């Protein structure tokens, strides 16, 4: 009994589930459920279908390269049974799983956190470069910081004099 991977969405197929399709060139396609099977029949490319693992890996949403992936490899030559080895393997599988899931979570976290530092740097740079759009170079003489100039409210004398005249 083997657990296979769905060709379309890369989820695990337990024994007794799903459909296998064998093409004329003897390539076997395994599907975990009819959703994947039907998508395949519609000739959709899993790399373009958002919810598949292939898409997520391709677009960097999920971790692609890691040393934990190398532990699991399909071996074609059978090994002679060794109880100690098997015991160790079973325990190892659990730890490897834990490590891998932690790393994946970290990857996603870093992705979601955003580029705070980078944005900060960009903001600072923009501020320095384009401050002349909102502050004239003349205003720098009084106030040397990268902030908006204080708008002077000019009380014009002529108006004050005009008022009584035009009454």
Partner 1 sequence: MVQYNFKNITVVPNGKDFIDIILSRTQRQTPTVVHKGYAISRLRQFYMRKVKYTQTNYYDKLSTIIDEFPRLDDIHPFYGDLLHVLYNKDHYKLALGQINTARNLISKIAKDYVRLLKYGDSLYRCKCLKVAALGRMCTVIKRVAPSLAYLEQIRQHMARLPSIDPNTRTILICGYPNVGKSSFINKITRADVDVQPYAFTTKSLFVGHTDYKYLRYQVIDTPGILDRPFEDRNIIEMCSITALAHLRAAVLFFLDISGSCGYTIAQQAALFHSIKSLFMNKPLTIVCNKTDLQPLEGLSEEDMKLVMEMKAEAMKTVIGQGGEPTDDQGVLLTMSTLTEDGVIAVKNAACERLLDQRVEIKMKSKKINDCLNRFHVAIPKPRDQKERPPCIPQAVLEAKAKQAAEKEKRKTEKDLENENGGAGVYSASLKKNYILANDEWKEDVLPEILDGHNVYDFIDPDILQRLEELEQEEGLRQAEEVDDDFEMDGKELTPEEQQALAEIRKKKSLLIQQHRIKKSTAESRPIVPRKFDKDKQFTTRRMGRQLSALGLDPSKAIDRARSRSRGRKRERSPDNDGGDTMDMDVDTPNKRLRMRSRSRSRSVSRPPGEVVPGEGFKDSAQKVKAQKLAKKSSKKRNKDARRGEADRVIPTLKPKHLFSGKRSSGKTDRR
User: d(Cα 35, Cα 28) in Å, to the nearest integer?
Assistant: 17
| C-alpha distance across the termini of the chain, in Å | 102
| Residue 28 lies near partner 1 (rule: CB under 8 A) | no
Angle formed at CA 85 by CA 82 and CA 91, multiple of 5 degrees = 140
Please give the residues from 144 up to 163 whose contact with partner 1 meets the rule CB under 8 A.
Answer: 145-152, 154, 156, 158, 161-162
Binding mask 82-111 for partner 1 (x = CB under 8 A): xx-xx-xxx-xxxxxx-x--xx--x-----
Residues contributing to the site for partner 1 (CB under 8 A) = 1-3, 12, 14, 67-68, 71-75, 78-83, 85-86, 88-90, 92-97, 99, 102-103, 106, 116-117, 120, 123-124, 126-127, 130-131, 133-136, 138-139, 142-143, 145-152, 154, 156, 158, 161-162, 165-166
């Amino acid at each position: 009994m083997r657990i296979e991977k769905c060709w379309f969405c890369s989820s695990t197929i337990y024994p007794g589930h799903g459909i296998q399709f064998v093409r004329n060139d003897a390539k076997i396609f395994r599907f975990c459920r009819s959703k994947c099977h039907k998508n395949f029949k519609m000739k959709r490319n899993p790399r373009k279908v958002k919810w598949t693992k292939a898409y997520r890996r391709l677009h960097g949403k999920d971790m692609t390269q890691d040393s934990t992936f190398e532990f699991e490899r399909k071996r074609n030559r059978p090994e002679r049974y060794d109880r100690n080895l098997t015991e160790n393997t079973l325990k190892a599988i659990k730890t490897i799983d834990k490590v891998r899931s932690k790393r994946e979570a970290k990857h996603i976290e870093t992705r979601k956190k955003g580029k705070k530092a980078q944005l900060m740097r960009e903001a600072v740079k923009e501020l320095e470069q384009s401050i002349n759009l909102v502050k004239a170079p003349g205003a720098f003489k009084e106030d040397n910081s990268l902030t908006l100039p204080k708008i002077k409210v000019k009380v014009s004398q002529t108006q004050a004099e005009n008022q009584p005249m035009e009454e």
